[in-house]
Chains A and B, each alone.
Chain A
Amino acid sequence: MPFAAAIAYLPMILVAATAITVMLGIAWRRDHTVTVAVSVLGLALALIAQAFAWRVIPVHTPLLDFDGLALLAGLLILASTLACAILAHVYLESFHGAREEFYILLLCAAAGGLVLAASRHLASLFTGLELLSMPLYGMLAYAFHEKRSLEAGIKYLVLSAAASAFLLFGMALLYAQTGELRIDILMASLDQNAGVWGLTGIGLMLVGLGFKLSVVPFHLWTPDVYEGGPGPAATFLATASKVAVFALMMRLMLSTPVLQGEWLRMVLTGLALASMLVGNLLALTQSNLKRILGYSSIAHFGYLLIVLVVADGLAAETGGVYLITYILSTLAAFGVVVLISGTTGGEDASALHYYRGLFWRRPYLTAVLTVSMLSLAGIPATVGFIGKFYVIALGVEAHRWWLVGGILIGSAIGLYYYLRVTITLFLPQPGMRRRDVSDDWGLRAGGLVVLAIAGLVILLGVYPTPMIELARALGDVTIRLP
Chain B
Amino acid sequence: MILVWLIVIPFIGGLLCWQTERLGDKPTRWIALATMLIELFISLWLWTHYDFHLPALDGSTTQWALEFRVPWIERFGIDFHLAMDGLSLVLIALTSFLGVLAVLCSWNEIVRRIGFFHLNLLWILTGVVGVFLAIDLFLFFFFWELMLVPMYFLISLWGHSGSKGQTRIGAAIKFFIYTQASGLLMLVSILGLVFAHHANTGEYSFSYQVLLETTLSPTLATWLMLGFFIAFAVKLPVVPLHGWLPDAHAQAPTAGSVDLAGILLKTAAYGMLRFALPLFPEASQAFAPIAMGLGLLGIYYGAVLACGQQNVKRFVAYTSVAHMGFVLIGIYSGSLLALQGVIVLMLAHAFSAAGLFILSGQLYERLRTREMNKMGGLWGRLGTLPGFWLFFIAASLGIPVTANFIGEFMVLFGTFPAAPWVVVLASVGLVLAAIYSLILMQRVHYGPPQSKTPLKGLDAREFAMMLSIVVLLIWLGIYPQPLLDTTEASMSEVQQVFEPSGTALREAPNGPGMPITLMSETR
Contacts and interface: CB of A to CB of B under 8 A. Distances in A.
A34 interface: no
Interface in A350-396: 359-360, 374, 379-381, 385, 389, 392-393, 396
Interface residues of A, number: 31
A428 B112 CA distance: 10
B184 interface: yes
Given A379-B145, A380-B146, A420 B173 contact: yes
A465 B75 CA distance: 7
B185 interface: yes
B464 to A, nearest CB: 32
B418 interface: no
Contact of A408 (B75, B145, B149, B188): B188
Interface string B163-196: 0000001001100110011001101100110010
A412 B173 contact: no
A463 B70 CA distance: 12
Query: Which of A380, A381, A396, A463 has its CB near the most chain B CB atoms (within 10 A)?
Result: A380
B181 A408 contact: yes
Given A380-B141, A393-B191, A416-B173, A408 B180 contact: no
A381 B141 CA distance: 11
Contacts of B47: none
Contact of B187 (A359, A389, A412): A389
Contacts of A419: 152, 172-173, 176
Contacts of B195: 393, 396-397
A371 to B, nearest CB: 11
Given A379-B146, A412-B177, A465-B75, A423 B184 contact: no
Contacts of B143: 380
Interface in A172-217: none
Interface string B132-154: 00000000011101100100110
A411 interface: yes
Contacts of B153: 423, 426
Given A396-B192, A411-B184, A419-B176, A381 B142 contact: yes
Interface in B370-413: none
A442 interface: no
Nearest to A409: B181
Contacts of B184: 392, 407-408, 411-412
B160 to A, nearest CB: 14
Given A412-B180, A423-B156, A423-B169, A396 B191 contact: yes
Nearest to B181: A412
B110 interface: no
A472 interface: yes
A464 interface: yes
B402 to A, nearest CB: 38
B180 A415 contact: yes
A340 interface: no
Given A411-B184, A465-B73, A380 B142 contact: yes
Given A380-B142, A465-B75, A392 B156 contact: no
Contacts of B113: 360, 428
B157 interface: yes
B157 A426 contact: yes
B74 interface: yes
Interface in A392-444: 392-393, 396-397, 404, 407-408, 411-412, 415-416, 419-420, 423, 426-428
Interface string B71-85: 011110000000000
Interface string A460-471: 000111001100
Contacts of A423: 153, 156-157, 169, 172
Given A392-B184, A415-B180, A464 B73 contact: yes
Given A408-B185, A412-B180, A428-B112, A379 B73 contact: no
Nearest to B187: A392
A123 B301 CA distance: 68
Given A396-B191, A408-B181, A412-B177, 8 more contacts: A379-B146, A392-B184, A411-B184, A415-B173, A416-B173, A426-B156, A468-B75, A472-B75
Interface of B: 72-75, 112-113, 116, 141-143, 145-146, 149, 152-153, 156-157, 169, 172-173, 176-177, 180-181, 184-185, 187-188, 191-192, 195
Interface of A: 359-360, 374, 379-381, 385, 389, 392-393, 396-397, 404, 407-408, 411-412, 415-416, 419-420, 423, 426-428, 463-465, 468-469, 472
27 contacts: A359-B116, A379-B180, A380-B142, A380-B143, A380-B145, A380-B146, A381-B142, A392-B191, A396-B195, A407-B184, A408-B181, A408-B185, A408-B188, A411-B180, A415-B176, A419-B152, A419-B176, A423-B153, A426-B153, A426-B156, A426-B157, A428-B113, A465-B73, A465-B75, A468-B73, A468-B75, A472-B75
